[in-house]
Amino acid sequence: MGARDGILGGRDVEEGKAASNRRRWLKSRERWLVVLGVVLHAVYMLSIFDIYFKTPIVHGMDPVPPRFTAPAKRLVLLVADGLRADKFFEPDSKGQFRAPFLRNVIKGQGRWGVSHARPPTESRPGHVAIIAGFYEDPSAVTKGWKANPVEFDSVFNQSHYTFAFGSPDIVPIFCSALPHSSWNTYPHEYEDFATDASFLDQWSFDQLQELLNRSEGDPRVKQLLMQDNVVIFLHLLGCDSNGHAHRPYSSIYLNNVRVVDRIAEGVYNLLEGYFKDNQTAYIFTADHGMSDKGSHGDGHPTNTDTPLVAWGAGVKHPKQLSHSSHLDTGFRFVDEHMHNMPTPIEWGLSSIERVDVNQADIAPLMSTLLGLPCPVNSVGNLPLGYINLSEADGVEAVLANTKQVLNQFLRKSQMKQSNSLHFKPFKPLENYSSVLDQIEDLISIKNYDSAMELSLNLRSLSLEGLHYFQTYDWLMLMTTVTLGYIGWMIYVIIHVLQSYTSLPENLYRKKNQAFHLKKDNTKVYLFGCLLMVILCILLLVEHSPPLYHVYVTMTVFLWTQIFSEYPFLKVLWEQLSGRKFNCAVTLIASCAMSIFILEFLVNSFTERKLYTLCFLILGVVAAFYLFYFVPGKSVLPFFIWMSCWFLSIFTLMPAEIPDNTNLVVASGAMIILIGVAGRWFYLSNKKSKYWLEILSYNKQIPRLPNLFYLQAILVALSSIMVSLSTFHRTQKQELLALHQLINWSVAGFSMVLPLFSPTDLLARLTSICLGFAPAFLLLSIGYEAVFYSALSLVLVAWILFEFSVFCLGKVNISSNSVRSAEDRVIFEYDERCLQLSDLRVPLTFMVLFNVAFFGTGNFASIASFEISSVYRFITVFNPFLMAALLVFKLFIPFMLVICAFSAITKLVRIPRSGCYFLVILFSDAMTIHFFFLVRNTGSWMEIGNSISHFGIMSAQVVFVLLLFALTNIYTKDIQIGSPQASSRKAM
């Protein structure tokens, strides 16, 4: 008997070592798979920029000198940052107009219209469009819209000299590397959102006045000012800062409109009195508008519609109309929409001709007024409706503009042809030289109308040609990235089936088959490497960007890995095809339901109200399911029903969150009540056998016995600080240093406390909810604070529902779902294999994760981030810290969802890693759908939203991993009572 025991014991040791080695190997494989997934999604997310937002800038073109006399000697550009067109043109509540000087200019001296910006409606791309004439690559946002990713030409570059004053975020972009310029900026500390920022506009005007005064005693400055082709640029930041801090309908913002009007009048009077030659042209405009909630970035008309007023030397005088139409009725703007084409009656300008432009058209307008070549990278069309030129000079100006755009097309065509093995030219412009000759002949015989028509047509074709070469590699890149995503999804499925299910692994147990497998794999890898080398050589010959090589390499690598698993896939297919018909029906039904839910989530990105319908239905279905199977626990179905219905309210709320400090304070009390209810449930059910696994009491003395009361006090304190901090801001007082210190301390300290809470599931999750509540409350401005409570209740309901289903035996923990000791090498103690029914857990996680994403607004839009929510921590402008606080606020609901998800995987005994890979799989199914939904036609608002949806979903795959790692700090110690496990262990 002893010998027998010895033999068995030795075998157990050997099996234990083998199992331990294989467990380490599989964990190492998973780490490699996670790293591969992060890199793949980061790289493929960049592909959207290569496909749709590749930088339009090319170098090597020569400027096209104009062949007409300059209408003006100097030009003044006034840019009121963040000024909306409607707030500029409309009257106030008393019927008085906010910009009386510029309104008199419109009626008596110059021309006016609406300048249409293109998303992203941010300060840097807006100024680039105005001054350089092209729409910048949005990937520049990764540099904060400050550093120049690619050097470009501008009106300032072409000028003889430029004077610029304004924001430190804008002026250096155009002047820091410009030798023929003088500029100055105020310190960043001046941009304080707690104050009225109109003094920043006055600062720019004072700098100009000081310059003119200094020139009286400095002959060099006098000489610079008196020369031709001088540009004076004043950047007026006040409207932008006040719009962010106080909203564009506030008295402070509307008063700032009056301030910029007075500055425009002051600049005009100052320069006309200084030069006294009537040779100065003036242009007043804005880089972008401002949404009602004090943000910008997307393609909403409040952000894209900006005022444009031009007057002075070379500008036409107003033209009276007998009807409410204007010159550009049929003009197509950059977003393909006709914004406010009929002039609103309340503007009182319907009788004066209105000339609308695209924002990039302002650059050729300024160049033409000064008689300068257009910036070589400009794609703007010269708006002749503003310039007072003779018929001959007008044709020459349009022809110069056309040649400048054509030169860009020819340069791009030359670059692509020199690098392509099989070049496909843009056929409509193959005979461009003959068209140019024809235009010159028509000008020589003074047939200006025909010459103008041909010039405009040639310019239009040149712009189409630029778009053609901008998207030349589109088909190849889309195919490569799509195959890469599909390959990644198949690879993840294979890993989950091999590692976390009860499928047989006979293929890998037989030595002879393992030998053939190795031989076959060698051939597959050799073929994959050969294909990879061939494709990379082709890309190298075509001088393709390095990222093209990465896309191709990753895609080939993934499919090589898939083909290397051919034996396993063959055995899998044989097993599935040999099962009964009802098994196939169950599998197909599960896949169909999963696809339906994922499609539902895809559509929810554009229609948040779908979540309301979803939770109304889920609440009823889950409640009746439990009521039918658990009649003795009637309170539980009612709780699940009500919590789901409570959460359904929030996706009906406006995406633009209105300020409601009282609601934030009240939600603090609600969170405390939820904590009290959780603690009461925890203490009153100690003897309940039904809740034993959730309330797994350990006999250790808590490290902090009064932790719950401390956390409740911190939640109450954060509510008080919300009220105090908001009161100071509404009274236009600076945020006190003491308040700032308390807010930072409470938010930071409270997030550490859950680590010291009891390790029982309910106690730890209650502590986590209370721990993140102070930070979320301090970053809230309205109903999103109540959303925190509603989400917490639904997460508790989810845990109780999964636990009830588990206890009811709907999850079969038997011999057919638990691997043998030899096979179950990657599972923790008491874990089981994944079953088809377990897809419910990651799918529910996906729904709740996206509700956490969209429950408090439309975060798929760039302009949806409410910057005022950070004012309780910081008011001095600091874009990186403010962005970090906004992202952290967004992450808090995610962390609650992931903590609940981790607890459920422990509660129902399924491997957390396996569920994580299923979440990645479902996320990628949505990502590839969004990849196909990306648009390159239609309005720029639709294009921008489709790209942001793809980016959000791609990034979600990456940061879910980071949040899993972060929340593991809080959930790894959670203990689950397991009487079933004890009995199985005894067996």
Res. 956: pLDDT tops 60 = yes
Give the mean pLDDT of 374-396. 93
> Out of 116-130, 162-176, 507-521, which region has the weakest mean confidence (pLDDT)?
507-521
Within 10 Å of residue 738's Cβ, how many Cβ atoms?
A: 9
Is residue 830 included in any domain, yes or no? no
Given 533, 561, 578, which residue is the final one in a domain? 578
pLDDT of residue 564: 86
Give the separation between CA 235 and CA 607, rounded to whole angstroms: 38
pLDDT of residue 462: 94
Q: Are residues 183 and 200 in the same domain?
A: yes
What kind and span of H or E run contains 233? strand 230-236
pLDDT of residue 862: 39
Is residue 461 included in any domain, yes or no? yes
Res. 201: pLDDT tops 90 = yes
- 63 cis-preceded (ω within 30 degrees of 0): no
Q: Which residues contact 223 (CB under 8 A, 6 or more apart)?
A: none
Nearest to 564 by CA among 535, 539, 529, 597: 529
pLDDT digits (tens, 9 = 90+) for 790-830: 999 999 999 988 888 887 764 444 434 444 434 444 444 45
pLDDT of residue 981: 40
- Residue holding tokens 């007072």? 388
Phi, psi dihedrals of residue 75, rounded to the nearest 5°:
-140, 140
> Out of 825-834, 962-971, 972-981, which region has the weakest mean confidence (pLDDT)?
825-834
Res. 602: pLDDT tops 80 = yes
Q: Are residues 424 and 477 in the same domain?
A: no
Res. 284: pLDDT tops 90 = yes
| Residue-averaged pLDDT of the chain | 82
Structure-token pair, residue 707: 């932790």
Question: Which residues is 285 bridged to in the sheet?
Answer: 79, 308
Q: Are residues 539 and 599 in the same domain?
A: no
Nearest to 655 by CA among 142, 958, 300: 300
Res. 120: pLDDT tops 70 = yes
- Look at residue 845 and give its three-state secondary structure: helix
Q: Are residues 808 and 949 in the same domain?
A: yes
Q: Are residues 110 and 236 in the same domain?
A: yes
Give the strand order in the sheet containing 161-166: 181-185, 161-166, 230-236, 74-80, 280-285, 305-312, 111-116, 357-358
pLDDT digits (tens, 9 = 90+) for 674-687: 888 888 876 766 55
761 or 461, greater pLDDT: 461
Give the separation between CA 658 and CA 291, rounded to whole angstroms: 13
Which amino acid, residue 604? S
With beta carbons less than 8 A apart as the criterion, state whether 373 and 66 touch.
Answer: yes
pLDDT digits (tens, 9 = 90+) for 633-668: 567 888 889 999 999 988 888 766 777 888 888 889
Is residue 827 included in any domain, yes or no? no
Res. 566: pLDDT tops 50 = yes
pLDDT of residue 294: 86
- 425 cis-preceded (ω within 30 degrees of 0): no
Instruction: Kindly state the percentage of the chain with pLDDT values over 70.
Output: 82
Q: Are residues 848 and 710 in the same domain?
A: yes
Q: Are residues 597 and 680 in the same domain?
A: yes
pLDDT band at 342 (very low <50, low <70, confident <90, very high): confident
With beta carbons less than 8 A apart as the criterion, state whether 310 and 298 touch.
Answer: no
Give the mean pLDDT of 624-628. 82
pLDDT of residue 265: 97
Pairing state between β 280-285 and 305-312: antiparallel
Q: Are residues 364 and 249 in the same domain?
A: yes
Res. 860: pLDDT tops 80 = no
Is residue 851 included in any domain, yes or no? yes
Res. 912: pLDDT tops 70 = yes
Within 10 Å of residue 835's Cβ, how many Cβ atoms?
A: 15
pLDDT of residue 137: 60
Burial class of residue 721 in the structure, from the number of CB atoms within 10 Å of its CB (0-12 exposed, 13-18 middle, 19+ buried): buried
pLDDT of residue 517: 44
Is residue 382 included in any domain, yes or no? yes
Res. 42: pLDDT tops 70 = yes
Res. 538: pLDDT tops 60 = yes
Structure-token pair, residue 412: 């791009």
Nearest to 924 by CA among 256, 45, 324: 45
Give the mean pLDDT of 703-711. 82
Res. 274: pLDDT tops 90 = yes
pLDDT of residue 144: 45
Q: How many domains does the chain have?
A: 4
In sequence order, what DSSP letters do the residues of 96-151 get, joined into one string?
Answer: -BS-HHHHHHHHHT-EEEEEE--SS--HHHHHHHHHH-S---GGGGGGTTTS-SS-
Give the mean pLDDT of 125-143. 75
Give the separation between CA 914 and CA 649, rounded to whole angstroms: 33
Given 536, 561, 578, which residue is the final one in a domain? 578
pLDDT of residue 717: 93
Res. 222: pLDDT tops 90 = yes
pLDDT digits (tens, 9 = 90+) for 71-89: 999 999 999 999 999 999 9
Residue span of the structural domain in which 412 resides? 397-471
pLDDT of residue 514: 44
Give the separation between CA 792 and CA 679, rounded to whole angstroms: 14
pLDDT of residue 236: 96
Res. 64: pLDDT tops 50 = yes
pLDDT digits (tens, 9 = 90+) for 756-770: 888 888 888 999 999
With beta carbons less than 8 A apart as the criterion, state whether 361 and 387 touch.
Answer: no
pLDDT of residue 14: 53
Res. 212: pLDDT tops 80 = yes
Q: What Cα–Cα distance (Å) separates residue 690 from each residue in 435, 638, 793? A: 86, 18, 20
Which of the 8 DSSP states describes residue 806? H
pLDDT band at 579 (very low <50, low <70, confident <90, very high): low
Q: Are residues 538 and 652 in the same domain?
A: no
In sequence order, what DSSP letters do the residues of 374-443 get, joined into one string?
Answer: PPTT--PPP-GGGB---HHHHHHHHHHHHHHHHHHHHHHHHHHHHH-SS----GGGTTHHHHHHHHHHHH
Pairing state between β 111-116 and 305-312: antiparallel
Which of the 8 DSSP states describes residue 71? S
pLDDT band at 4 (very low <50, low <70, confident <90, very high): very low
Q: Which residues contact 759 (CB under 8 A, 6 or more apart)?
A: 698, 973, 974, 975
Q: What Cα–Cα distance (Å) separates residue 666 from each residue in 663, 669, 715? A: 5, 5, 11
Res. 44: pLDDT tops 80 = yes
> Out of 368-377, 948-957, 972-981, which region has the weakest mean confidence (pLDDT)?
972-981
Given 555, 578, 601, which residue is the final one in a domain? 578
Q: Are residues 383 and 429 in the same domain?
A: no
Is residue 28 included in any domain, yes or no? no
133: alpha, beta or left? (left if phi > 0; alpha if psi -120 to 50): left
Phi, psi dihedrals of residue 381, rounded to the nearest 5°:
-100, 130
Is residue 450 included in any domain, yes or no? yes
Res. 255: pLDDT tops 60 = yes
Is residue 875 included in any domain, yes or no? yes
Res. 969: pLDDT tops 70 = yes
CATH, residue 206: 3.40.720.10
Q: Provide the whole-model pTM.
A: 0.69
pLDDT of residue 608: 81
- Look at residue 181 and give its three-state secondary structure: strand
Q: Are residues 570 and 604 in the same domain?
A: no
pLDDT band at 347 (very low <50, low <70, confident <90, very high): very high
Phi, psi dihedrals of residue 162, rounded to the nearest 5°:
-130, 130
Q: Are residues 571 and 603 in the same domain?
A: no
Most confident of 388-392, 687-691, 740-744, 956-960: 388-392
Give the mean pLDDT of 420-441. 90
pLDDT of residue 155: 95
Which amino acid, residue 772? F
pLDDT of residue 722: 85
